[in-house]
Structure 1
Amino acid sequence: MSKETPCTAVCMIDPRTSLCFGCGRTLPEIARWQEMDGAERHAVMAQLPARMAEAGLAPPATAAAAKPA
């Protein structure tokens, strides 16, 4: 059984914001992810884009697209 996850396999925590560079979750959220019910996971995932934008963190796909070739 697979649980929905925002994980992008870029598992590094930004020391300035304490958010994962890849998904925007905090360490406590990552640690509890499997125990969260679907509603709680969806609520966290809904916050991630704004959370990352506010922290000045770009999602990996956006960061890669912004780099010059």
Structure 2
Amino acid sequence: MSRAEGRVRSPCVSVCALDENDVCVGCQRTGDEILHWTSMTDDQRREVLKKVAVREQRVAL
């Protein structure tokens, strides 16, 4: 397995638009999280994905 294959994948769904809170309406990442995703470690990416899950729950309410 190559190094790239083992990485935590981006939650991007190709619906790219930031709302008034700087959160993408497609993947629920902030602008900063999107900007720095490629330089994050897998542990950092997992932390972002936890935050994304919380944001998705708020949107679903």
Same fold (TM over 0.5): yes
Aligned residues: 55
1:7 and 2:12 are equivalent in the alignment: yes
* Rg larger in structure: 1
2:43, 2:53 → 1: CA distance?
Answer: 17
Q: TM-score scaled by structure 2?
A: 0.76
Instruction: Report the CA distance between 1:52 and its aligned residue.
Output: 2.9
Residue 19 of structure 1 is matched in structure 2 by: 23
1:40, 1:28 → 2: CA distance?
Answer: 13
Question: What is the aligned counterpart of 2:32 among 18, 21, 28?
Answer: 28
> For the aligned residues, what is the CA RMSD?
1.6
Q: TM-score scaled by structure 1?
A: 0.68
Runs (5+) with no aligned partner, structure 1: 59-69
Runs (5+) with no aligned partner, structure 2: none
Instruction: Report the CA distance between 1:43 and its aligned residue.
Output: 1.0
Deviations 1:16-66 (A, max 9, x none): x22100011111110000000000001111221211332x3x5xxxxxxxx
Query: Which segments of structure 1 move beyond 4 Å, counting only runs of 4 or more?
Result: none
